[in-house]
Structure 1
Amino acid sequence: MSTDESRFESDPDEIVGEPGLPSGWLIEAPDPSDRFTLARLTQLLRDHERSGRGWAASGVDDVLVEVSEAGLRTRENVVVRDRDGTIQAWGSVHDRAGGRMLFLHIVSRELPEGLGRSCSDVLVEWAVGQAQAVGGARGLDVQQIDTGAFADDDRQHRWLAAAGFSKVRTWWQMSRPVTPAEADLVPSTELWETDKARFRTVRRAGDGMPDDDDLRGVHDVLEGAFVDHFNSWEETFEEFLHRLREDPGHRWDHWWLAEVDLGDGNGATAVGALIGTVSEASGGPDGSYVSYLGVLETARGRGVAKGLLHTIIADAASRDRDRVGLEVDADSSTGADGLYVAMGWKTKYVTQSWHREVTVEA
């Protein structure tokens, strides 16, 4: 199948049988061009965040990542409407990589337990059908559904467990304050060196776009650095680039490479990579976010990770941002969290990964 074609089933009626909803309720694909739909999905997402962690941060741009026409090559969406036409639940699936399908699962906080659970069950049934579709298109025997929950969201935990999901991982969502003086933490965020490594932004081609070799270098480093990490699935360069560019906070000048001479006769070799994004705020300073940080095993112990982190901190300070966020695998035995804590990061809230394995029927 061409990578330009969706692997999902676009008609929810082909997947969901008798949905078990009240008379007059229906399931359908949302219309991303309808401003009322976008406003309602944004409200549901923000209510979900407030209930799970105490505050909301997402906006309409985050919803558009899931439902816009640009994203539908790798995503599919469904909504549940009540008899008045109000959207009460929203599901989104993302063909993230071969074998891994992400599932966004949101039910209105205003619904009573029984009705909310019915909406949740419909979303799960639809997601399982989509797992069958995408897994079959990829020629897989088993397709993983990967969904998340806030650590304090007991309702979400209860419904996921009842639907056959298992909690498999815990993640610390950490943040570090940034001061204006830290703009001088490194000589230049575009290029600086130590006696062990060189740090630089990805090069630009003549048309102003990033150099393709550098982008492939970032992809190769991250694929190699995470090959043995939890739930790591191989992602093609095209899939990787398409997904990262969808992020509302994406900026090409927030991509860095670290190079080291490994003494193998090849000169400076890309061994570390950091992809940052902008965390926009309403009514206050923006922040930066470490979306990815990876160092190849052959280059660990040379200060590469610390150097990349110093670079994004200095970059954030130079842009008048007040924080840098990142996610840490709380269940990992690598001890990476020790570096982050030593450099000033603190846990702001906690999330979980929940998985269900779906056998793909012939």
Structure 2
Amino acid sequence: MSWPEGIEARPIDKGDADAWAELLAAKELVDHEGENYDAQDLIDELEDPHLDPALDTIGLWADGRMIGYGKLHASEAVVDLDRVGTEGTVHPEWRRRGVGTALMPWLMNRAAELHAAKHPDAPGEVTSNRISTNVGAERLFQRFGFEERRYFFDMKRPLDQPVPKVPLENGLRLVPYDTSMDEALRLVHNEVFRDHWGSTPRDPDSWRTWFTGARAFRGGSSYVLLDGDTIAAYVLGYEYEADTEATGIRELYIGQVGTLKSYRGRGLARVTLAKVLAKAAETGYQRSGLGVDADNPTGALGLYEKLGYSVSSKWVSYGLPL
């Protein structure tokens, strides 16, 4: 791979976490994506059991600083399409110098290798996304033939506004998350999201890494709705310390909201989320955030709007067939 003059390229390791965090902080100052990371967040990403940092990451360096990076994530299972996710950025001071144009082929080539190694018999696609206001990223995706696939909204809700009272059906119980229900919850989550665009089943390792075992997970701010021993609905909350430090606002991020298909249409997600919001306000959170698929077939966007959320940003998902 040929890189612009003066740039050294090598895989990212844990010793690069501080430099990586500095790069992402510089990116956030310009791109305003609402995402902040500290060094430990990035070390956590490198410890993903399904990531091979030596092959699936690249850091671009100049004058002792990380001025760009790329990273890929391949799914362990395929539902309809093997989507190989990519991410990356270039330091604002180094943009429009051909760095992104050089980084994109590296990501595409590695995505093709991952697809061939993991799911060669399934159709494949390299994917990425951008916030709608980043026109430079839009031009780069278009240059390499990517097409828009889906739209997502980030939504926010201040917690100084009253949370609607939502009654709970007789016979159902709303309880805080407990580790004893973790495996049952993972299986329910996989069932709930089986018909959601782009979702693939979570194995125990990825579930622990990115869901209930994540450093940001807040079990005390997560609730499960039970019908007997059946998990009918659930809402899982997260708190990202780097976001709090950067913004001065303590936010409970709603990472997952789900209702089993046989229980849909009864308002159970609304009941559960209302409980989570009320609890978050009681425990000192100032805001709640979440992300939603604009075309979610369960009507999630309307649910969130009725509970007081409003759109703060729009994201575009891109794909290019492999």
TM-score interval w.r.t. the shorter chain? 0.7 to 0.9
Out of 73, 87, 112, which is 1:132 matched to?
112
SS in 2 for 1:250: coil
| Whole-angstrom distance in 2 between the partners of 1:235 and 1:181 | 35
SS in 1 for 2:68: strand
Q: Write the letter of the residue equivalent to 1:125.
A: P
8 A Cα contact 2:152 2:294, kept in partner: yes
Cross-structure match for 1:30: 12
8 A Cα contact 1:197 1:304, kept in partner: no
RMSD: 2.7
| Whole-angstrom distance in 2 between the partners of 1:163 and 1:248 | 36
Could you tell me how far 1:165 is from its partner in structure 2?
2.0
Cross-structure match for 2:128: 147
Please tell me whether residue 274 in structure 1 is matched to residue 257 in structure 2. Answer: no
| Whole-angstrom distance in 2 between the partners of 1:223 and 1:297 | 12
Cross-structure match for 2:253: 289
SS in 1 for 2:209: helix
Please tell me whether residue 200 in structure 1 is matched to residue 183 in structure 2. Answer: no
Cross-structure match for 1:157: 138
Out of 48, 66, 85, which is 1:102 matched to?
85
Cross-structure match for 2:217: 250
8 A Cα contact 1:221 1:273, kept in partner: no
What does residue range 78-117 of structure 1 map to in structure 2 within 5 Å?
78-82=58-62, 84-98=63-77, 99-113=82-96, 115=97
Deviations 1:105-136 (A, max 9, x none): 111111252x2xx3223322222233233323
Please tell me whether residue 325 in structure 1 is matched to residue 289 in structure 2. Answer: yes
| Whole-angstrom distance in 1 between the partners of 2:94 and 2:303 | 43
| Whole-angstrom distance in 2 between the partners of 1:55 and 1:223 | 28
* Residues 215 and 323 (structure 1), Cα distance of their counterparts in 2 relative to 1, 3 Å cut: same
| Whole-angstrom distance in 2 between the partners of 1:166 and 1:62 | 30
Could you tell me how far 1:333 is from its partner in structure 2?
4.7
Cross-structure match for 1:175: 156
Query: Bigger radius of gyration, 1 or 2?
Result: 1
Range with greater deviation from structure 2 (193-202 or 281-290): 193-202
SS in 2 for 1:307: helix
* Residues 59 and 201 (structure 1), Cα distance of their counterparts in 2 relative to 1, 3 Å cut: same
Could you tell me how far 1:158 is from its partner in structure 2?
0.8
Q: Which residues of structure 2 form unaligned runs of 5+? A: none
Could you tell me how far 1:57 is from its partner in structure 2?
3.3
| Whole-angstrom distance in 1 between the partners of 2:85 and 2:35 | 21
8 A Cα contact 2:86 2:107, kept in partner: yes
8 A Cα contact 2:182 2:212, kept in partner: no
Cross-structure match for 2:191: 224
Q: Which residues of structure 1 form unaligned runs of 5+? A: 1-16, 187-191, 204-209, 261-266
More helix by share: 2
Could you tell me how far 1:73 is from its partner in structure 2?
4.2
What does residue range 47-62 of structure 1 map to in structure 2 within 5 Å?
47-53=26-32, 57-62=36-41
Could you tell me how far 1:196 is from its partner in structure 2?
5.4
TM norm structure 1: 0.77
SS in 1 for 2:195: coil
Identity of aligned residues (%): 21
| Whole-angstrom distance in 1 between the partners of 2:221 and 2:281 | 13
8 A Cα contact 2:9 2:58, kept in partner: yes
* Residues 54 and 100 (structure 1), Cα distance of their counterparts in 2 relative to 1, 3 Å cut: closer
SS in 1 for 2:93: coil
* Residues 127 and 323 (structure 1), Cα distance of their counterparts in 2 relative to 1, 3 Å cut: same
Number of residue pairs the alignment of both structures matches: 311
